[in-house]
């Protein structure tokens, strides 16, 4: 690591005292709902088993549940035109459903259609429901991980089991003393205050293959690798490396959860 990089790392301090490449604390809860296979993920400042807060600031919490039906309930259901085997619905913590949530629904549907072996579902429609409880940043990645974990632990056949993490690109002049500073798993405050944009990475821990999604000014859109490369300069190699390391570590925790789930059956 060169001296200039060290200087950048020292002069940029995150609001919750994490290092630039550290993830927020994460909590898993299996089957919090009794109406079907479900999963709850909380990221950020939550209370651990001893009642102690795990971080600083807010948290992002999402609950996912899988439901099954013999046919789609509506011809206008997301995904019913392109693929009758799957649909995704996301509900906000409060208020009406905004266009940004509809966009997240579309992205989640595309991802799950790539991951799930839909031909094995037969005539059954897999309905994926997400309820946002809290949002303090990284919402898309938490939604992706909650759905994937719920599918994986419920026994749905999947092509692979990737991990999603958000990455922030700090604006030059934001007390970073340099350009293209990368921070992992930024909070909503960090994105609004310090970052020029944020990216959501979907990475396969085994192959290292990845997809990148761009989030800027509250909007979410699917980006290809080539068309998005200009937004994060020369940081792509670093971003890929960070995403893969995070994915490998995350999957270790997922396998522990899977073993616990199997023993409880």
- 263 has a pLDDT exceeding 80: no
- pTM passes above 0.85: no
Confidence of residue 227 (pLDDT cuts 50, 70, 90): very low
Could you read off the pLDDT of 109-120 as tens digits, one per residue? 989 988 998 888
Could you read off the pLDDT of 238-257 as tens digits, one per residue? 888 888 899 999 888 888 88
- Least confident segment among 62-76, 219-233, 237-251: 219-233
Asked if residues 217 and 231 have their Cβ atoms less than 8 Å apart, the reply is no
Asked if residues 64 and 81 have their Cβ atoms less than 8 Å apart, the reply is no
| The pLDDT of residue 231 | 58
Q: Which residue has the higher pLDDT, 22 or 52?
A: 22
Q: What percent of the chain has pLDDT over 70?
A: 76
Using CA atoms, how far residue 66 sits from 41, 118, 200, 260, in Å, is 15, 14, 23, 20
Nearest to residue 41, comparing CAs of 143, 126, 185?
Answer: 143
Kindly compute the dihedral angle of the four CA atoms of residues 60, 242, 48, 187, in this order, to the nearest 10 degrees.
-30
State the alpha helices, DSSP H only, in the chain: 3-11, 99-115, 139-154, 188-194, 225-228, 236-264
| The pLDDT of residue 228 | 40
Beta bridge partners of 158: 116
Confidence of residue 28 (pLDDT cuts 50, 70, 90): very high
Segment 205-221 mean pLDDT:
64
Pairing status of strand 59-69 against strand 125-134 = antiparallel
For the structural domain made of 3-264, what CATH number should be given?
A: 3.30.230.70
């Amino acid at each position: 690591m060169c001296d200039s990089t060290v200087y950048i790392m020292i002069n940029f301090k995150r609001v919750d005292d994490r290092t630039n490449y550290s993830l927020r604390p994460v909590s898993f809860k299996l089957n919090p709902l009794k109406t079907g296979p479900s999963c709850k993920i909380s990221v950020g400042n939550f209370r651990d088993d001893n009642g102690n807060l795990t971080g600083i600031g807010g948290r992002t919490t999402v609950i996912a549940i899988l439901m099954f039906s013999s046919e789609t309930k509506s011809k206008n259901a997301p995904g019913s035109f392109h693929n009758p085997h799957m649909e995704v619905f996301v509900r906000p913590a409060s208020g009406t459903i905004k266009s940004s949530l509809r966009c997240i629904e579309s992205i989640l549907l595309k991802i799950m259609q790539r991951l799930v072996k839909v031909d094995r579902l037969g005539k059954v429609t897999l309905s994926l429901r997400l309820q946002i409880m809290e949002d303090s940043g990284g919402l898309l990645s938490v939604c992706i991980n909650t759905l994937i974990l719920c599918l994986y632990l419920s026994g749905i056949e999947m092509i692979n089991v990737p991990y999603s993490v958000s990455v922030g690109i700090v604006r030059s002049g934001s007390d970073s003393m340099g350009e293209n500073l990368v921070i992992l798993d930024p909070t909503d405050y960090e994105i609004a205050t310090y970052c020029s944009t944020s990216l959501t990475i979907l990475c396969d821990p085994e192959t290292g293959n990845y997809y990148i999604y761009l989030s800027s000014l509250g909007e979410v859109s699917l980006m290809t690798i080539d068309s998005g490369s200009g937004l994060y300069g020369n940081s792509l190699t670093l971003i890929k490396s960070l995403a893969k390391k995070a994915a490998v570590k995350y999957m270790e925790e997922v396998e522990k959860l899977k073993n616990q789930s199997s023993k409880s059956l």
